[in-house]
Amino acid sequence: MDMTGKTVMITGASRGIGAEAARVFAKAGANVALLARSQDDIATLAGEIGQQAIAIPCNVARFSELSSAVETTVSAFGGLDVLINNAGVVEPISHIADADPDAWGQLIDINVKGVFYGVRAALPALRANGGGSVLTISSGAAHNAIEAWSAYCASKAAVNMFNRALHLEEHANGIRAIGLSPGTVATEMQRKIKASGINPVSQLDWETHIPADWPAKCLLWMCSPEADDWCGDEISLRDEDIRSKVGLT
């Protein structure tokens, strides 16, 4: 997939799937705008990638910051073609009866409102380009309840439905809305899950998690017409047929 001349904005780009997506898209020729709260990390990554990348400190839980990030991206690269909603947190990992209300709400602010804010801020730029792709990281937790993950499960279920609503409203404007459920990935989030010791996911051997560049490569493939059949829906990277299409082994 040649992305030369295209511009991609990635939230949560400081590490994990977001950082690998930045590398994969830049290698494919794209300009990449790296958004995260960790200013030093995204600055280092932008320096690694070179002139194709800009680092924009941003808290996705604040619409004004995402709106400014879109303006900065368009000013730097002339437009916006792809939004990757990757920023997300899994904590608090807590049973409902013991959950801290503020921490529970903060997860919703990041995982749900952050996706809406990103899309709301990016839509004018995507429409101005005649369309584009909105790719959102989902999870199997959107469809299955997991012990002590009430906030995370609820957030991913909400994002799944939001993706469907986005497709319904914007596909006629050329907006391709697709979710990606990557399965378990060897990232810092998995280390936090492992440390919790709660539920079967925390008991998985580290070797069972896929590397972060797998979902990154799938996100690149999702920008191609081959993924059009999944617009308004979700792709699962657990699907061997999808892995084959992406070229993963």
Query: Among all residues, which ones are annotated catalytic?
Result: 152
**In the numeric block, which tokens belong to residue 55?**
């680092």
* Residues 18, 22, 28, 133, CA torsion sign: positive
Q: Are 195 and 94 within 8 A, CB to CB?
A: no
**Triad 65, 232, 89: Cα angle to 5°:** 45
Q: Of 222, 154, 144, nearest to 183 (Cα)?
A: 144
Using CA of residue 7, residue 239, residue 229, residue 108, what is the dihedral sign? negative
Cis peptide before 211 (omega within 30 of 0): no
Instruction: Kindly list the strands in the beta sheet with 132-137, ordered across the sheet, starting from the edge strand earlier in the chain.
Output: 53-57, 31-36, 7-11, 82-85, 132-137, 175-181, 234-236
Tokens representing 192 are: 């936090």
